[in-house]
Amino acid sequence: MPRARFVVRGSVQGVNFRASAVREALRLAITGRVWNSDDGSVELVAEGSGGALAALQSWLNDGPPGADVTEVSRTELGALRRLQHHLGRAQRRLAAAPSFAAGLRKVGLTAALSLPRGLARRQVRPVQVHDERDVGGD
C-alpha cells in the first residue's frame, strides 16, 4: 500500500489542523501519524490507496477553516524506508539509554536471559518444618 510523508507550511498550527487532518484521513480510510514540527509546520505520514492519498493532499492544500497553507510537499515512502525509519528510531532510543537493559525496555524488548519482571523483587519465604510431636494429637 502506498505511503507518503507530507509537510504542510504556512499558518497551520493553532488552528485545529491536526485534528481536522485526522478526521479527513479517517474519512478517506488512511492510516498514519500527524504532528507539529518545531519550525511551525505540520507533518504527516499517511498510508492508503493512491486515490486516497491524492485526495488527502488536495485537502491539505486548503486545510481547515482558519489555516493559511502556503506549501505542501510530498515525499513517497516505500516499505524499505518504513523499516529504516523504525530501525533508526530504535537505534536512537538504545543509544540514549543509560544501560543496555534500559535501552531494550525503551524499544519494548527484554533481554533473553533477564528474569521476568517482578521475580527479582519477590522474597523467598522460609518453609516451616514441623516435628511430628508438634502436630496435634496426644
The domains of the chain are located at 3-77, 79-110
Residues of the chain where predicted confidence (pLDDT) is lower than 70: 79-138
Instruction: State residue 23's pLDDT score.
Output: 93
Give 104-108's long-range contacts (Cβ < 8 A, gap of 24+): none
Active-site annotation, residues: 18, 36
| Whole-angstrom Cα Rg for the chain | 27
Q: Which fold has domain 3-77?
A: Alpha-Beta Plaits (3.30.70)
Q: Which pLDDT value is given to residue 72?
A: 96
